[in-house]
């Protein structure tokens, strides 16, 4: 039984089963979009927090640190309430759409990008303090220089964020609804197909998800290695 299911799973992958490829494509689109948005917002917020000094700075940093441990189902529930018909954004009818899934993953990834960006910029700001004072660089030039020198650490954070997005189940299931041919992702399909007893489809998506995870970890390892070499140059 299990062996037959595994064989069928590989057949689905090799033959590029339309339903499987559609699910993989949607998962990648949603996750990539959420990561791109989180990177732009996170790097900006992290850099601002690292180089600014205002009364609520430490409180905001603490909030982002706490949000790093936010349970996905809680994030999904909050977004569900906001996007529901009776919620403040219900008029836009975003619930049970890919857009709602992007929002959910964005909320979960953003704290990681903000925290790592802030730490990278803070560390480099202290290291380059004398250099900046000598050459009198503008704030934009300082941020540009530090982000470039800390690019390997930031890229590692981006890859880790993408991995978190792709592996997310709870929040995506709550706000997406797992609708066939519309909001069904790899993780939600694996959970559903397993409960239904369709192990072959679940295994095929699990294999693809595992390959993507291994690929992301390989990329992270490469960037970390480059970052270490770069630090000694």
| Domain chopping of the chain, boundaries | 20-185
Q: What is the pLDDT of residue 100?
A: 96
Average of per-residue pLDDT across 166-190: 92
CATH superfamily of 20-185: MetI-like (1.10.3720.10)
- Give yes or no for residue 186 having a pLDDT over 90: yes
In 3D space, the residue among 86, 91, 89, 71 whose CA is nearest the CA of residue 174 turns out to be 71
Residue partners of 23: CB distance under 8 A and separation at least 6: 184, 185, 186, 189, 205
For the whole model, what pTM was predicted?
Answer: 0.89
Read off the DSSP letter of residue 87: S
Read off the DSSP letter of residue 233: -
**pLDDT tens, residue by residue, 126-135:** 888 888 778 7
């Amino acid at each position: 039984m299990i062996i037959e299911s595994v064989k069928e799973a590989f057949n689905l992958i090799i033959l590029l089963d339309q339903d499987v490829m559609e699910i993989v494509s949607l998962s990648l689109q949603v996750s990539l979009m959420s990561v791109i948005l989180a990177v732009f917002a996170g790097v900006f917020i992290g850099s601002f927090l690292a180089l600014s000094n205002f009364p609520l700075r430490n409180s905001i940093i603490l909030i982002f640190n706490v949000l790093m441990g936010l349970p996905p189902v809680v994030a999904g529930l909050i977004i569900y309430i906001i996007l529901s018909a009776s919620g403040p954004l219900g008029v836009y009818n975003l619930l049970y759409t890919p857009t709602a899934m992007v929002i959910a993953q964005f909320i979960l990834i953003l704290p990681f990008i903000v925290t790592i960006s802030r730490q990278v910029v803070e560390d480099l700001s202290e290291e380059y303090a004398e250099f900046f004072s000598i050459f009198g660089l503008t704030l934009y030039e300082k941020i540009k220089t530090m982000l470039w020198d800390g690019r390997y650490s930031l890229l590692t954070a981006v890859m880790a964020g993408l991995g978190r997005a792709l592996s997310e189940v709870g929040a995506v299931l709550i706000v997406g609804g797992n609708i066939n041919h519309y909001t069904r992702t790899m993780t939600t399909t694996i959970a559903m197909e397993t409960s239904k007893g369709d192990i072959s489809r679940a295994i095929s998506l699990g294999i693809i998800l595992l390959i993507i995870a291994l690929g992301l970890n390989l990329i992270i390892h490469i960037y970390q290695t480059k970052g270490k070499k770069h630090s000694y140059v």
